[in-house]
Amino acid sequence: MFPYQPQVHQYPYSNNQLMPHGYYNSPYSDGGWLWQQNTWASDESYRMHPQQRLCFVLVHGSWADAHFWDGIAEVLRRNGHVVYTPEYAGHGSDPNKNVTHAMITKSVVDFITKQDLCDIILVGHSFGGTVIQKVSEQVSDRIKRLVFWDAFVLKDGESLSDELPPQTKQAFEQLRASSKDDTIMLPFPLFRDLFVNTASLEEAESIYSGVAPEPAKPLFEKLNLKVFYALPTPKSYVYFYQDGVLPQGEGFGWNPHMSIRLGLFRLIVGDGDHMTDSRTRPAMVAQKLYEAGRD
Amino acid sequence: MFPYQPQVHQYPYSNNQLMPHGYYNSPYSDGGWLWQQNTWASDESYRMHPQQRLCFVLVHGSWADAHFWDGIAEVLRRNGHVVYTPEYAGHGSDPNKNVTHAMITKSVVDFITKQDLCDIILVGHSFGGTVIQKVSEQVSDRIKRLVFWDAFVLKDGESLSDELPPQTKQAFEQLRASSKDDTIMLPFPLFRDLFVNTASLEEAESIYSGVAPEPAKPLFEKLNLKVFYALPTPKSYVYFYQDGVLPQGEGFGWNPHMSIRLGLFRLIVGDGDHMTDSRTRPAMVAQKLYEAGRD
Amino acid sequence: MFPYQPQVHQYPYSNNQLMPHGYYNSPYSDGGWLWQQNTWASDESYRMHPQQRLCFVLVHGSWADAHFWDGIAEVLRRNGHVVYTPEYAGHGSDPNKNVTHAMITKSVVDFITKQDLCDIILVGHSFGGTVIQKVSEQVSDRIKRLVFWDAFVLKDGESLSDELPPQTKQAFEQLRASSKDDTIMLPFPLFRDLFVNTASLEEAESIYSGVAPEPAKPLFEKLNLKVFYALPTPKSYVYFYQDGVLPQGEGFGWNPHMSIRLGLFRLIVGDGDHMTDSRTRPAMVAQKLYEAGRD
């Protein structure tokens, strides 16, 4: 049966008056739209129409840093969007790997508030889903829509590791135990088969060369998400059907297993895996994120 | 485990003599085929071979009327098929919204019998699945194959609302309660995110402009389907994997949750959502319906 | 919950030293690679890069013989790979239909050992999945990677028929009972709708013309697979999402229902059905098998 019902009533659609500000702007109203022209991505014969201008804040996942978004952000900017890719604690150039989920959340919240960003399309990839769940609890008035892309949507009280199938959970626990600084480093064969399964070996090695040990603690922290499950913020889920990190069924997976926790959400499906396409087909990913984020 | 086993024995395939008349005609027998030539759809580079001539009866779903099929029917006719798109009670120009499922079924049955149609490929979309389930009970001798396209296949004794996930069911019940004439009108944000999730905002608004309040009663009526589950009529299921109206798993969904109730059926999968493609890619939909309906 | 946990500990990824020989060779090490050039498949505009040279052993399924692989093997050879397509007992020109699963396994094992094949990408399609499960138990040191393509991955102690949904199992049992030599012959309508659902009628008839009665016994034999579930051999699963032989969910199916039994595996997804594409799109299938088999 339906595996999870948030305790807090959530029904954002019954009444237009209850819609968060900016949820739905007519394209014919003044100021709501800026059309971007003559700058279409030409690297893929993807369907490209003039795009509503959006403000994206892109939050990466584990074993990645803000450069994960480089190609995708470039395409989005070329299409007229404003794009931010905040780095968070324990990642990128931060030498301190001893971080908590709250520190990671604070990095993104501080970035958003210091830049005074509004009407954000807040995108989380993979572990980044748990980050935007917590970030949205603190700055919901600045968020126009949440977009989860093959991202964890945790239940109240869960940790990310609670959503891993037994083999993967066991692997992570063993790798964590063998670390000296409470991090998890993925061996290349595991990374190659689960995270970049559709890549060529050269592409897989190139992506792997940027992978750093991931702080383990935030993956095993139980999160209080009661506020999240009361937010009326519109939500989308982008699912790539070659993603091999989680099985899609048998009690696990991105979609529908975790996506349905969003309640009534917009689904966008693409042909991609967990990490390869951000490098090899950024225009495809950018288009899917746009489809997830637009009005 | 296997969630539903019709009580009535149904095994249409073990013996060719048990096949309904016309189920399988050799293309080399006289009269069985009419080839259509030089009229290929040129709007999409879809694989287009000469097509076996079929007689389609297309039954739309809720929040739609017979014009839902306009683009698809045009492509099918261009490819040599005979196409009917019957309107049913409570929809289109019918001012009476106080209708029952039996009245809707009668509209389609009467259309088929008055026109004396035979060897029909009877297609139901969405709620239309429940309609062709009931229609086929009355005119099974006129039907060559049933095609369900992201359509409800109800168990004996079920109502459509029994197949909705809790959030959607709750939304429908609230919308119904707030109506003065026992109809359900979808707010645009809900329609946009669930029914036309892959559309541009302009396409979504254009489609929404044709949406009328839907009579609520037929969506909550329990249907007796014992006769349906005894029919040996061949069946196909067309599933579009970006359809966001129902989650595909966790005890819900078009395929396989409801499709497997058809027993041994032909599966056809496409990249589309619930309503957008009928407007934006009618040739793609027409091709999928042809693949589902041909011998 | 997770439906199946092999009793034998299996975790091939935590330590590179535990990787089977040849699992991961750097492309920059001498001898590990042979580049094939100027022989790209031109029949499909598929993404084609120079391919790492692999040695494929392709094991067909039921209602097929080694010619099932003709088109696919031709494309793979054109791309520089070495390809073997062993025939097994009870199939092809073997007049004896009274065979056991062990006899079938022995055919493939003998083929591999007599030819002294090493570093094999061992591919099983459909029933062939059960064959490569048993073959790998005997010649694991010769196998570089196992690739299951819409193939059965049985639990220890299961038979193939245990994985069939009730309607299909009932059909197979009835067809077996009506046979004089303990074989199962698929009626054309069943074959057409379940095995070659996306084919044109002409393609379906052409493929069906090569279908022979299948020895029934091996489909109902319980297999001891304890050794298989202790093998650290890397594994891939290729899933075609229009495959209609099994429902994908509700406790049945190729992926993830059976694929997850492989533990940590590489997933590759394609748009195809169970048998059509081997005939109509061999280059697409060959590409997917290459993506599943490469380092």
Q: Are A264 and A14 in contact (CB under 8 A)?
A: no
Cα of first residue to Cα of last residue in chain C, in angstroms, is: 32
Residue B14 lies in a domain: no
With CB atoms and an 8 Å threshold, state whether B1 touches C249. Answer: no
Tell me which residue has tokens 């008349």. B21
Does residue C5 have a pLDDT over 70? no
Q: Which residue of C has its CA nearest to B291?
A: C198
Does residue C155 have a pLDDT over 90? yes
Nearest to B189 among A13, A255, A269 (CB): A13
Which tens digits make up the pLDDT trace of A238-259? 999 999 999 999 999 999 999 9
Write out the residue range of the structural domain in which residue C96 sits. 39-293
Cα–Cα dist C125/C238, whole Å: 9
State how far residue C14 is from chain B, nearest Cα, in angstroms. Answer: 32
3-state secondary structure of B4: coil
Chain C contact present for B34, CB below 8 A: no
What per-residue confidence (pLDDT) applies to C49? 63
Q: Is C266 left (phi over 0), alpha (psi -120 to 50) or beta?
A: beta
What parts of chain B have a pLDDT lower than 50?
1-47
Q: Which residue of A has its CA nearest to C257?
A: A250
**Rounded to two decimals, what is the model's pTM?**
0.87
Cα of first residue to Cα of last residue in chain B, in angstroms, is: 32
Q: Which residue of C has its CA nearest to A242?
A: C269
DSSP A247-287: -SBTTB-IIIIIGGGGSS-EEEEES--SSHHHHH-HHHHHH
Closest CA to A127 of A267, A277, A279, A274: A274
Does residue A14 have a pLDDT over 50? no
Cα–Cα dist A270/A287, whole Å: 10
Chain C contact present for A116, CB below 8 A: no
Residue A199 lies in a domain: yes
Residue C15 lies in a domain: no
3-state secondary structure of C263: coil
Q: Is C24 left (phi over 0), alpha (psi -120 to 50) or beta?
A: beta
Chain A contact present for C236, CB below 8 A: yes
Residue A240 lies in a domain: yes
Interface test with C, best of A175, A188, A191, A201 (most C CBs within 10 A): A201
List of chain B residues whose C-beta atoms are within 8 Å of the C-beta of residue C201: 27, 52, 294-295
Chain A contact present for B165, CB below 8 A: yes
Q: Which residues of B93-123 are buried (b: 16+ CB within 10 A; e: fewer)?
A: eeeebebebebbbbbbbebbeeeebebbbbb
Which tens digits make up the pLDDT trace of A156-200? 999 999 999 999 999 999 999 999 999 999 999 999 999 999 999
Query: Please, which chains are in contact with A (at least 3 CB pairs closer than 8 A)?
Result: B, C
Give the count of beta carbons closer than 10 Å to the beta carbon of residue C29.
8
- Mean pLDDT, chain B, rounded, equals 87
What per-residue confidence (pLDDT) applies to B50? 82
Which tens digits make up the pLDDT trace of B121-161? 999 999 999 999 999 999 999 999 999 999 999 999 999 99
Residue A210 lies in a domain: yes
Query: Please, which chains are in contact with C (at least 3 CB pairs closer than 8 A)?
Result: A, B
- E-assigned strands of chain B? 55-59, 82-84, 120-125, 143-149, 183-184, 214-215, 235-240, 266-270
Q: Which residues pair with A3 in a beta bridge?
A: none
With CB atoms and an 8 Å threshold, state whether B27 touches C166. Answer: no
Rg (CA), chain B: 18
What per-residue confidence (pLDDT) applies to A50? 82
- pLDDT band for A4, please (50, 70, 90 cuts): very low
3-state secondary structure of A292: helix
Nearest to B267 among C174, C242, C250 (CB): C242
Q: State both tokens at C46.
A: 């598929």
What per-residue confidence (pLDDT) applies to C1? 32
User: Dihedral through CA C106, CA C111, CA C112, CA C113, nearest 10?
Assistant: 80
Q: Which residue of A has its CA nearest to B192?
A: A266
Residue B100 lies in a domain: yes
Q: State both tokens at C276.
A: 């059509």
Averaged pLDDT, A218-233: 98
Please name the residue ranges forming H helices in chain A.
Answer: 70-78, 101-114, 128-138, 166-177, 188-194, 201-208, 217-220, 276-280, 282-293
Query: Please, which chains are in contact with B (at least 3 CB pairs closer than 8 A)?
Result: A, C
Which tens digits make up the pLDDT trace of B220-247? 999 999 999 999 999 999 999 999 999 9
With CB atoms and an 8 Å threshold, state whether A236 touches B193. Answer: yes
Give the count of beta carbons closer than 10 Å to the beta carbon of residue C180.
6
Chain B contact present for A155, CB below 8 A: no
Q: Which residues pair with B52 in a beta bridge?
A: B35
State how far residue C271 is from chain A, nearest Cα, in angstroms. Answer: 10
Closest CA to C21 of C115, C138, C119: C119
* Number of Cβ pairs < 8 A linking chain A and chain B: 87
Q: Which residue of C has its CA nearest to A189?
A: C13
List of chain A residues whose C-beta atoms are within 8 Å of the C-beta of residue B273: 267
List of chain A residues whose C-beta atoms are within 8 Å of the C-beta of residue B244: 265-267
Q: State both tokens at B134.
A: 């009931």
Known catalytic residues of A are 126
Does residue A41 have a pLDDT over 80? no
Chain C contact present for B53, CB below 8 A: no
Strands C214-215 and C183-184: antiparallel
Nearest to C250 among B3, B263, B295 (CB): B3
Q: State both tokens at C162.
A: 């245990």
Cα–Cα dist A172/A190, whole Å: 11
Cα–Cα dist C23/A153, whole Å: 34
DSSP C252: B
What per-residue confidence (pLDDT) applies to A42? 37
Q: Which residue of B has its CA nearest to A268?
A: B242
With CB atoms and an 8 Å threshold, state whether B252 touches A2. Answer: yes
Give the 3-state secondary structure of C56-93: EEEECCCCCCHHHHHHHHHHHHHCCCEEECCCCCCCCC
Does residue C269 have a pLDDT over 60? yes
CATH assignment of the domain containing C244 = 3.40.50.1820
Known catalytic residues of C are 126
Tell me which residue has tokens 């889903």. A129
Tell me which residue has tokens 């645009």. B188
Averaged pLDDT, C263-270: 97
What per-residue confidence (pLDDT) applies to A138? 98
List of chain C residues whose C-beta atoms are within 8 Å of the C-beta of residue B248: 249
What per-residue confidence (pLDDT) applies to A19? 33
Interface test with A, best of C29, C163, C250, C260 (most A CBs within 10 A): C260
- pLDDT band for A49, please (50, 70, 90 cuts): low
Residue A262 lies in a domain: yes
Tell me which residue has tokens 């049966």. A1
Phi/psi of residue A47, nearest 5 degrees: -70, 120
The distance of Cα B128 from the centroid of its chain, to the nearest Å, equals 5
Does residue A5 have a pLDDT over 80? no
Averaged pLDDT, A203-228: 98
Chain B contact present for A167, CB below 8 A: no
Cα–Cα dist A93/A79, whole Å: 29
What per-residue confidence (pLDDT) applies to C50? 83
What per-residue confidence (pLDDT) applies to C10? 40
List of chain B residues whose C-beta atoms are within 8 Å of the C-beta of residue C251: 1-2
Cα–Cα dist A145/B257, whole Å: 30
What per-residue confidence (pLDDT) applies to B49? 62
Instruction: Report how many domains make up chain B.
Output: 1
**Kind plus residue range of the DSSP H or E element containing A122:** strand A120-125
DSSP B102: H
DSSP B202-265: HHHHHHHTT--PEESHHHH-----TTGGG----EEEEEETT--SS-SBTTB-IIIIIGGGGSS-
The residue annotated as part of the active site, out of B107, B126, B236, B278, is: B126
Cα–Cα dist C275/C280, whole Å: 9
Please list the helix, strand and coil fractions of chain C in percent, rounded to the nearest 5, in that order: 35, 15, 50
Give the count of beta carbons closer than 10 Å to the beta carbon of residue A154.
21
Cα–Cα dist C219/C224, whole Å: 14
Residue B99 lies in a domain: yes
Alpha carbon distances (Å) from A166 to A170, A250, C9: 6, 12, 12
Tell me which residue has tokens 């990408």. C121
